[in-house]
Structure 1
Amino acid sequence: MFNRLNNRTMLPNWCRVVSQILLRGRISQSVAAFGAAIWLGLAVVTASAQTDPVRIVALGDSLTAGYGVAEQESFPVRLQAALAAKGIKAAINNAGVSGDTASGGLARLDWSIPGDTQGVIVELGANDALRGIDPAVTRKALNDILASLKQRGIPVLLAGMRAPPNLGADYAAKFDVIYADLAKEYGVLLYPFFLEGVASERALNQGDGIHPTAAGVDVIVKGILPKVEELIRQAAPK
């Protein structure tokens, strides 16, 4: 019985039944007090469960890790703050490793995504492009990441990347389509370009012209936020 009553969908109807019984005086005061205590306890447990933060892992490279900025200015921290400002409780775990390629992210996937993870933001591939890695290798690694997360039943937001222009049109044509192709194949959310509004903007990048400043991180967060909200709607317990 109590296992059934732990189901939030049953609680309102059960509460109404208890209320009617209490009002009609069909049970003794001692039993009524006992029933009221159970009612209150279940309500507290239910309210607690509803306010637990959704656990999201940001799996990425230096753009996620927060290279060159203070910890409190990193993408996961600023994203969590932006969600909190909208009344959305989420815990964004920073699983960014500077220098990581898509293959590197795949190699550490199992221990980077704990068993209680409810959603994952995948931001990988920038280093692949910077190093001119064969796009087929990048595609295979990202494919295997998405396949593994799908098998685990974890919703994903895939953050896309674009090849730098110096690698040529042929390389870009093979690399840039990877993200849209895989998002469609696996039915996951897609944010087409993680650095949208920041890439090539000198004022929003550090001296290397690659990593965003704190202000640049805020631009990224603002752009990707609607997609993260979609991810959380998919990830949140029903």
Structure 2
Amino acid sequence: PLVVQLTTAEHKDEVSRYIERARRQSEIERTTAERDKSGVFTGSYAINKLNGERVPIWIADYVLMSYGTGAVMAVPAHDERDFGFAKRFDISIKVVIAPPDWSGKELTEAYIEPGTMVNSSQFDGLPSEQGMAAISDFIAEKGYGGRQITYRIRDWLISRQRYWGAPIPIVYCDRCGLVPVPEAELPVLLPQDAEFRPTGESPLKYCDSFVNTTCPNCGDPARRETDTMDTFMCSSWYFLRYSSADYKDA
């Protein structure tokens, strides 16, 4: 990372100690909304190319190297995490999206709804969604950067599994690898003859009539996924059955 290069001599020791503390924390510990935000100033500044203002460069453990570029342009007035961070370290909070009927007073919390662009130079007065698009176009035209889609996909924690949970419609084929069950073959139904053993593993694992199947792609022997989706998945749809108790196609 650029932290070492960006840290000035007078902040070097403090930054080094902070990095060591952050390394001992898990990603969950670092990003949980309930904990107080922590960070330290590097002593360096970046120049905002849109207005020429100096922006202090801090390191903070809630900004992750594994997401995006590992660096963010904080907007404290319009992001809850950035707002809390700025409040704790007395960093300037500049409103750039004005709420309706805003009088210029200091915000008591981050404003995260649409509004009107303010303190944004030539983009003042634009609706915020239109203004953000115009700023992105301006940055691209000037060669300062460009648009990029960053996904926040994480590994899905399958924890609170139950035998009667929703089956995961995937089969494993030695020839084709992981193959989704075709829509025409859904839903995958749970067997009625599963044997429960004190192994801590899914009862489906030992049910040959469920596990052994054929690959939808090549027709070779294949094995069904024996994990089931956890309770959160089931809770997202089961209530719909109350209003369609006699529906036979789902």
Q: TM-score range by the shorter chain?
A: under 0.3
Provide the TM-score with structure 1 as the length reference.
0.23
Q: Compare relative contact order (CA 8 Å, sep 6+) and give the higher one, 1 or 2.
A: 1
Larger Rg: 2
Q: Which has the higher helix share?
A: 1
